[in-house]
Amino acid sequence: MYKGGYTGKILRVNLTEQTVKEEALSQDVARDFIGGAGFGIKFLFDEVKGATDPLGPDNKLIFASGPFSGTTIPCASRMAVTSKSPLTGAVGMALTGGYFPVELKFAGWDALIIEGKAKEPTYVWIKDGEVKFRSAKKLWGMKTTDTQQIIKNELHDQNIRVACIGPAGENQIKIASIINEWRAIGRKGLGAVMGSKNLKAIAIRGTGEVAVADKDKLKAAKGEMTKAMKESHVLYPAFAKIGTPMVVDHTCATGIFPTKNFMATGEYNPVDKIGVDVQMTRNVGFEACYGCPVGCSQLKLAKTGPYAGILTEGPEFETMYAYGGVTGVENIDAIIAADRMADELGFDTLSSGVTIAFAMELFEKGILTKEDTGGLELNFGNHEAMNTVLKLMAYREGIGDLLADGSKAAAEKIGKGADKYAMHVKGLELPAYDVRGAKAHGLNYATSYTGADHCRGYAFQEIFGIPVPHEVDRFTADGKGKLTKWNQDIRTATTDAPTMCAFLLDMAVVGIAAQNTASLMEAVTGFTYTPDDILQVGERINNLAHAFNVREGFTREDDTLPERLLTEPLKGGASKGHFVSRDELNQMLDEYYEARGWDVKTGAPSREKLEELGLGYVADQMSV
């Protein structure tokens, strides 16, 4: 019997049979994996066999919040969605905020597991313990905002929370996202998985509450956390007013804001075109996730040209990069319009923008021609062409069909040496940091279980100069293997699993992160943890995710970076002259594998390490 934090129940929905099953959540699983990404990866490894087709009926889609969601802990309305990624073939895990995560808990569920494939377009309606399958035929083809509104109208409740796909997911675009309200479950192609199951949406409404084990302890633990939040020099003075787009200015200043497909980082500085000063001229309000006192999501309204009148939530920093810096687009209103279009069509803004930037470089090099682009002048900075291609991608039309599944797949189809210009790791496009000037961040791209993912092991020491657990030199490879392990484990255990907004880790509670999570866990659930126990949970989850990938055939050779980052020094800016040499990457990988207790030659986890983490059954399956 759980004292608090957990409902103790998992909802299993089979679309093929249109059946519903309630299962008990094991307390051992709860204690060892906490929730969120921990639950998703645990169920994924145990239930999705090796070599499963990511777009086949045997793949599963797992929605899991954490024990903090639905309580009075601020910034905890978060949820992990996990599946085998159709984009990478590796673990696909993405996080989201908003209101859907707490509604899942209020409805009485710690996790929702979707399996099988519906015979025709369907949406699932969950109201507390009651589940219904409803036709989505009339919704098929609709954009995400319309889909959500029609469902709310049909069910006569505007407080229903909806996670849905747009045309990109329906067309099984491998960089499609899932949209819940104004938040995106953005990366790794999870929208395509939903589309492959003929699942247009999940609508949910809950009327329950989330119990806590000890209210007095929770009050004390929250007091320590909110004290750290108030004392932050960044959280309320700047972040609450500007949000993540403030990082555009910072990364331009440090010479790591990638521009023009990573060709011109440091040389081309668009801060005067798309930086904070320009962004603030478009701000008209803000949005906050459930229970969040920060409200970092900014609403922006385009004001000029054909884009005038378009409103979007964002664009976030990564989107400013994807539709701005990396594509060379300087028109702030075009970026706002592209962001809104991506949300409506159900696209990962980051992968789609980087893929378009890749195509722009190929066009300028003559590898793609106007015949290939349907007459479009696909040059860097051409915002009209960027927005046109984005729409074509969603419907697999013309040049859009070539680019729809990301840069790796496109490069393989194009040939002619195009792979040299595809900026991805394991098929996942690079995020908004040029890691030639931040080498632990680069090692995280190389080793993250999802591919190039800044969210899994964000090197805030390098990006923002935060000296926790110690001060670092962002340009050196020394010590970065151990640091990357720590970054990945602390983030997994304190944000991805409980679940909590990762921005707090970077800006407020970084110095007390493990103890903060331990104290909150004891107060909410009654489970006791030391800070070391919390870190071990992160280590356990990362090992299990890596074991899934090894079972899928990934090796050390896949833990790498694009050729450009390994061979071309930055030509300008504050990081000029730096790059990640192959020797440096190998040095960091050796140190990382040793720190993890994995085989240095293959990158596979050792039996000793897996058994130490209580994952002996995984070692048995992998014969290590």
Domain that holds residue 270: 243-423
Is the pLDDT at 623 greater than 80, yes or no?
A: no
Read off the amino acid at residue 483.
L
pLDDT in tens, 146-169: 999 999 999 999 999 999 999 999
**Cα dihedral 224/460/98/122 (nearest 10):** -140
Percent share of the chain, pLDDT over 90: 96
Q: What angle do CA 504, 507, 513 make, to 5 degrees?
A: 55
Q: 12, 6, 3, 13: which is closest to 33 by C-alpha? A: 6
Q: Cβ distance 516 to 493 under 8 Å?
A: no
The continuous run of DSSP H or E covering 29 comes out as helix 27-33
Judged against a pLDDT cut of 90, whether residue 387 lies above it is answered with yes
Domain boundary among 367, 400, 423: 423
pLDDT above 80 for 3: yes
The pair of structure tokens assigned to 17 is 């049979």
Residues 44 and 187 in one domain: yes
Query: What mean pLDDT comes out for the span 132-141?
Result: 98
Reported confidence tier of residue 505, pLDDT bands at 50, 70, 90? confident
CB 296 within 8 A of CB 243: yes
> Does residue 66 sit in the same domain as residue 98?
yes
Distance of alpha carbon 585 from alpha carbon 582, whole angstroms: 5
Nearest to 239 by CA among 302, 187, 286, 303: 286
The Cα–Cα gap between 153 and 168 comes to 24
Q: Are 221 and 82 spatial neighbours (Cβ–Cβ below 8 Å)?
A: no
Sheet holding 130-135, edge to edge: 130-135, 122-127, 199-205, 161-164, 178-180, 183-185
408 and 444 fall within a common domain: no
C-beta of residue 241 within 8 angstroms of C-beta of residue 297? no
CB of 595 within 8 A of CB of 485?
A: yes
In a domain, 76, yes or no: yes
Q: Could you count the other beta carbons within 10 Å of the beta carbon of residue 572?
A: 14
- Determine the average pLDDT of the residues in 248-274: 97
Domain boundary among 423, 454, 469: 423
In a domain, 218, yes or no: no
**Could you tell me whether strands 122-127 and 199-205 are parallel, antiparallel, or unpaired per DSSP bridges?**
parallel
The SS3 of residue 488 is helix
Helix (H, G, I), strand (E, B) or coil at 18: coil
CA dist 420 and 416 (Å) reads 10
Does residue 569 belong to any structural domain of this protein? no
Residue 234 lies inside a defined structural domain of this protein: no
**Judgement on whether residues 201 and 253 belong to the same structural domain of the protein:** no
Return the pLDDT at 506: 87
On whether residue 256 sits in a domain, the answer given is yes
| Run of H or E including 622 | helix 616-622
Q: Identify whether the C-beta of residue 64 lies closer than 8 Å to the C-beta of residue 541.
A: no
**What are the pLDDT digits (tens) for 541-574?**
999 999 999 999 999 999 999 999 999 999 999 9
CATH number at residue 319: 1.10.569.10
Instruction: Return the H-helix or E-strand segment holding 550.
Output: helix 531-551
Beta bridge partners of 302: none
Does residue 622 surpass a pLDDT of 90?
A: no
Are residues 152 and 97 both part of a single domain? yes
Q: Is-cis flag, bond preceding 54, omega within 30?
A: no
pLDDT of residue 181: 87
Q: Which pLDDT tens digit goes with each residue over 22-37?
A: 999 999 999 999 999 9
Instruction: Dump pLDDT digits (tens) for 227-238.
Output: 999 999 999 988
CATH, residue 120: 3.60.9.10
Write down which residue in 371, 388, 423 finishes a domain. 423
- Distance, C-alpha 196 to centroid of its chain: 20
Mean pLDDT over the full length of the chain: 97
Q: Specify whether 478 is located in the same domain as 502.
A: yes
Residue 83: is its pLDDT beyond 70? yes
**Are both 537 and 604 inside the same structural domain?**
yes
Number of domains the chain is built from: 3
Q: Are 415 and 449 in a shared domain? A: no
Do the Cβ atoms of 320 and 335 come closer than 8 Å?
yes
Confidence of residue 225 (pLDDT cuts 50, 70, 90): very high
Give me the DSSP letters along 187-217: STTHHHHHHHTTEEEEEEE-------S-HHH
Mean pLDDT, range 506-527, rounded to an integer? 96
From 267, 564, 249, 256, select the one nearest 431 (Cα to Cα): 256
* Cα–Cα distance for residue pair 526/415, rounded to 1 Å: 57
Buried b (16+ CB within 10 A) or exposed e, 223-257: eebeebbeebeebbeebbbbbbbbbbbbbbebbbb
Strands 130-135 and 122-127: antiparallel
Domain contains 215: no
Residue 484 forms part of a structural domain: yes
373 and 255 in a common domain: yes
383, 458: one domain: no
Give me the residue label for tokens 């030639």: 436
Q: Are residues 148 and 26 in the same domain?
A: yes
The DSSP call for residue 238 is I
* In a domain? residue 478: yes
Q: Where are the alpha helices (DSSP H) in 346-438?
A: 349-365, 370-373, 383-394, 399-403, 407-414
Same domain, 194 and 339: no
Which one is predicted more confidently, 46 or 624?
Answer: 46
Can you say how many angstroms the Cα of residue 524 is from the centroid of all Cα atoms in its chain?
Answer: 26
Collapse the DSSP code of 539 into the 3-class scheme (helix H, G, I; strand E, B; otherwise coil) and give the result.
helix
624 pLDDT above the threshold of 80: no
Record the tokens describing residue 86, joined without a space. Answer: 């159709």
pLDDT of residue 504: 85
450-453 own/partner pairs: CB under 8 Å, 24+ apart: 450/85, 450/88, 450/90, 450/91, 450/92, 450/93, 450/187, 450/188, 450/426, 451/85, 451/87, 451/88, 451/90, 451/188, 451/424, 451/425, 451/426, 451/427, 452/424, 452/425, 452/426, 452/428, 453/187, 453/428
